């Protein structure tokens, strides 16, 4: 292989395995979500890794729902997870599996372990078992039921399965080592009794395998070669290997490899906290555009490509990391800059009157749809005597470095004329500027005699007579500190919620925008990238702000 580009540690491992001819030279990965919540950007990292690695090495990736706990899981989540993976641009073809597909085989293997004296039924309560487990620095003690006969264990286990015992009364444990320094090896629980309806197996089972017993065997059954998971499962690896070694005598072996999960600044990522935001109404739902969920990002206007690029850029390693959210924002700006259709909109309008422009006259001026894409052409936009401009683009008393409109100053109206501010009026009620009066240079239109005159700034505008109203939702970071989880005693990440993470404004948009379609990405020139919300209708257009444009003036002015 002559690929000299730097490789991450997963690629190194895979290439090493390939060179050694391990597992017949196959690469087969899996993405194993538990259907108990919505996927977020951290899952996207894992998805890109698992599918990306398989793609790179000519292998396959399975989708496997890890549904071993019927009390927590639900079909509702299965569909959303599939939709999100597809949307991200990956396909598992027909390899859609469920850990529950393997319940029968897992059960038979459990009997095999019992027969070999490697597993036993424990009659103790959860509390007793927990007490006997010892602590991190002291060994555990053995259960009084540990040395039951094979016959008794088998009988009890079969009766557990038959539903003869109440929930929580007995468990099946692997007989390993109660003094093992790794607590997970201290006779871990393999099966527990749960009388709950399973979303796939219904009421067929009342005993359910634990993650540790199910995962490695599921990998084995699917022919997975590289079982990639996050760092917190590292300590589970000896157990993953132990079961495989007891049960399998082939040369083929799936291998668990851990990587550091994604953390994002100004964001919380745990399912529990995300759920709390939804349940307690801090956001409108899992797909609230401020959520780091895949469906939230989608509604916000993020593109699959931008998320894949982001996943590439953040890399992968085994050290804990916090990615700056600005890298995510960079990724979406970069992608949207290339593809977003340019349109004009005024979010915070103030009226501007061009006194020497004929009353009643309307011109349709050509405006470029996307300067990054010469093929995209132009559309006509109506220009008239009365316009809306952005309130921030006028200052009665200009400050140093201000390139926009002020009394006596000139500015170019994008795609139109150069205007000069003659005077302005203040609303006596509010004390705010209400009307700005200008004159225009009739020769300064694109292609005109004075069109190339240098003026300091260019601003956008909307003809009052032709403006459509729209609701625009301005989103900002959900939290106002880089690490929302960093809270003093008794505090909560909720305390760090950004009160201005959503501002809804009534805006004026150019006529073409009223005809926007779902799924189209727009740049409102000089403002940012916007995406029609699911609530959008031609009668009542609603846009979500995906992200602002990079704004070096705001940065300067803010100092």
Partner RNA sequence: UGACCGAUGGUGUAACGGCAGCACAGGAGAUUUUGGUUCUCUUAGUCCAGGUUCGAAUCCUGGUCGGUCAACCA
Nearest distance in Å: CB 94, RNA: 22
Indicate if 261 belongs to the active site: yes
Q: What are 510's two structure tokens?
A: 């150019």
How many Å apart are CA 82 and CA 326, to the nearest integer? 28
Coil, strand or helix at 88: helix
Q: Which of 96, 83, 125 is nearest to 32 (CA)?
A: 96
| C-beta separation of 240 from 224 below 8 A | no
The interface with RNA within residues 276-315 (CB under 7 A) comprises 313-315
Single out the residue of 232, 427, 486, 535 in contact with RNA (rule: CB under 7 A): 232
Task: Give the other-Cβ count within 10 Å of 21's Cβ.
Answer: 8
Determine which helix (DSSP H) or strand (DSSP E) holds 368, and give its type and residue range: strand 363-368
- Of 284 and 339, which has the nearer Cβ to RNA? 339
3-state SS assignment for residue 65: strand
Question: Is 412 a binder of RNA (CB under 7 A)?
Answer: yes
Q: Which is nearer to RNA, 288 or 525 (CB)?
A: 525
Residue showing tokens 């800059």: 337
By beta-carbon proximity to RNA, the closer residue of 196 and 514 is 196
Per the annotation, the verdict on 34 as an active-site residue is yes
Residues 14-33 that bind RNA (CB under 7 A): 32
User: Does residue 242 bind RNA (CB under 7 A)?
Assistant: no
337 binds RNA (CB under 7 A): yes
Residues 421-480 interacting with RNA (rule: CB under 7 A): 444-446, 451, 457-459
In 61-193, which ranges are continuous DSSP H helix? Answer: 75-88, 103-115, 126-132, 150-162
Choose among 273, 261, 275, 277: nearest CA to 323.
Answer: 261
Residue of 112, 159, 204, 271 with catalytic role: 271
Candidates 45-53, 55-63, 122-130, 278-286; binding stretch for RNA (CB under 7 A): 122-130
Residues 477-506 that bind RNA (CB under 7 A): none
8-state DSSP, 438: E
Tokens matching residue 210? 């634990």
Which is nearer to RNA, 211 or 288 (by Cβ)?
211
Sign of CA dihedral 414, 415, 419, 425: negative
Please, which residue, 288 or 418, has the CB nearer to RNA?
A: 418
* 382 touches RNA by CB under 7 A: no
Binding to RNA in span 315-334, by CB under 7 A: 315-324, 326-327, 330, 333-334
Residue 236, interface with RNA (CB under 7 A)? yes
Question: Which one of the listed residues 34, 363, 392, 471 is annotated catalytic?
Answer: 34
Q: Decide: 502 and 479 in contact? Cβ < 8 Å.
A: no
Residues 6+ apart with CB under 8 A from 481: 266, 496
Binding residues among 53-72 for RNA as defined by CB under 7 A: 66, 68-69, 71-72
d(CA 68, CA 86): 24
Output the six-digit token pair for 179.
Answer: 């003094």
- The answer to whether 270 contacts RNA (rule: CB under 7 A) is no
Residue placing its CB nearer to RNA in the complex, 284 or 520: 520
By the rule CB under 7 A, 269 interacts with RNA: no
531 part of the interface to RNA, by CB under 7 A: no
Number of residues that bind RNA (CB under 7 A): 94
**Cβ neighbours for 57, distance < 8 A, ≥ 6 positions apart:** 14, 18, 27
When the beta carbons of 90 and 211 are compared against RNA, the nearer one is 211
| Interacting residues with RNA between 135 and 194 (CB under 7 A) | 135-137, 167-171, 181-184, 189, 192-194
387 part of the interface to RNA, by CB under 7 A: no
Question: Which of these segments, 86-94, 232-240, 351-359, 433-441, binds RNA (CB under 7 A)?
Answer: 232-240
Q: Confirm whether 454 is a catalytic residue.
A: no
Q: Is 363 exposed, middle or buried (0-12, 13-18, 19+ CB in 10 A)?
A: middle
Residues 391-410, interacting with RNA (CB under 7 A):
401-404
* Min separation Cβ 535 and RNA, Å: 25
Instruction: Residue count of the chain, please give it.
Output: 559
- Residues 352-371: x where in contact with RNA by CB under 7 A, - otherwise, as a string: ------------------xx
Annotated active-site residue in 95, 253, 261, 379: 261
Rounded to 5 degrees, what angle do the CA atoms 87, 93, 97 make?
100
Q: How far is CA 132 from CA 143, 253, 315, in A?
A: 7, 33, 42
Which residues between 80 and 109 bind RNA (CB under 7 A)? none
DSSP strand pairing (386-390 vs 461-463): antiparallel
Longest dimension (CA), the chain: 102
235 binds RNA (CB under 7 A): yes
Give min distance, CB of 420 to RNA, in A: 16
Residues marked active site are found at 34, 261, 271
């Amino acid at each position: 292989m002559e690929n000299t580009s730097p490789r991450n540690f997963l690629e190194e491992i895979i290439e090493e395995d390939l060179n050694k001819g391990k597992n017949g030279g196959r690469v087969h990965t899996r993405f194993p979500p538990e259907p108990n919540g919505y996927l977020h950007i951290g899952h996207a990292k894992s998805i890109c890794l698992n599918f990306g690695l398989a793609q790179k090495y000519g292998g396959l990736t399975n989708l496997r729902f890890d549904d071993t706990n019927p009390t927590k899981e639900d079909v509702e989540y299965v569909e959303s997870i599939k939709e999100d993976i597809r949307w991200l641009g990956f396909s598992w073809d027909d390899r859609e599996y469920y850990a529950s597909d393997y319940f029968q085989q897992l059960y038979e293997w459990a009997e095999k372990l019992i027969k070999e004296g490697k597993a036993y039924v424990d009659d103790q309560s959860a509390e007793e078992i927990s007490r006997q487990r010892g602590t991190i620095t002291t060994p555990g003690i053995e259960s009084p039921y540990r040395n039951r006969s094979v016959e008794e264990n088998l009988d009890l286990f079969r009766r557990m399965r038959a539903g003869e015992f109440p929930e929580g009364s007995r468990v099946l444990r692997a007989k390993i080592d109660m003094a093992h320094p790794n607590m997970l090896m201290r006779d871990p629980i393999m099966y527990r009794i749960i009388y709950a309806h399973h979303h796939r197996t219904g009421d067929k089972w009342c005993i359910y395998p634990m993650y540790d017993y199910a995962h490695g065997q599921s990998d084995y059954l699917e022919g997975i070669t590289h079982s990639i998971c996050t760092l917190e499962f590292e300590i589970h690896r000896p157990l993953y290997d132990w079961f495989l070694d007891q049960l399998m005598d082939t040369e083929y072996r799936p291998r668990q490899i851990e990587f550091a999960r994604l953390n994002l600044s100004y964001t919380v990522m745990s399912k529990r906290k995300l759920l709390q935001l939804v349940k307690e109404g801090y956001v409108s739902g899992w797909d609230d555009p401020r959520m780091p969920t895949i469906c939230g990002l989608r509604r916000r206007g993020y593109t699959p490509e931008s998320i894949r690029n982001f996943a590439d850029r953040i890399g992968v390693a085994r050290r804990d990391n916090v990615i700056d959210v600005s890298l995510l924002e960079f990724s979406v700006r970069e992608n949207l800059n290339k593809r977003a259709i340019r349109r004009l909109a005024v979010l915070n309008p103030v009226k501007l009157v061009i006194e020497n422009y004929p009353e009643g006259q309307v011109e349709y001026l050509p405006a470029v749809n996307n300067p990054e894409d010469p093929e995209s052409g132009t559309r006509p936009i109506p220009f008239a005597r009365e316009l809306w401009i952005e309130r921030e683009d006028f200052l009665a008393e200009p400050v140093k470095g201000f390139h926009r409109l002020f009394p006596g100053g000139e500015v170019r109206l994008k795609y139109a004329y150069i205007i000069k501010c003659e005077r302005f009026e203040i609303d006596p009620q509010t004390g705010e500027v209400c009307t700005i009066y200008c004159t225009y240079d009739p020769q300064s239109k694109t292609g005109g005699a004075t069109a190339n005159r240098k003026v300091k700034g260019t601003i956008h505008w909307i003809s009052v007579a032709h403006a459509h109203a729209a609701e625009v939702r301005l989103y900002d970071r959900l939290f106002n500190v880089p690490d929302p989880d960093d809270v003093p005693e008794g505090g909560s990440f909720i305390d760090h919620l950004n009160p201005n993470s959503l501002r809804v404004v009534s805006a004026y948009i150019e006529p073409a925008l009223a005809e926007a379609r779902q799924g189209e990405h727009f740049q409102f020139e000089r403002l940012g990238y916007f995406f029609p919300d699911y609530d959008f209708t031609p009668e009542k257009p609603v846009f979500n702000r995906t992200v602002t444009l990079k704004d070096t003036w705001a940065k300067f002015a803010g100092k």
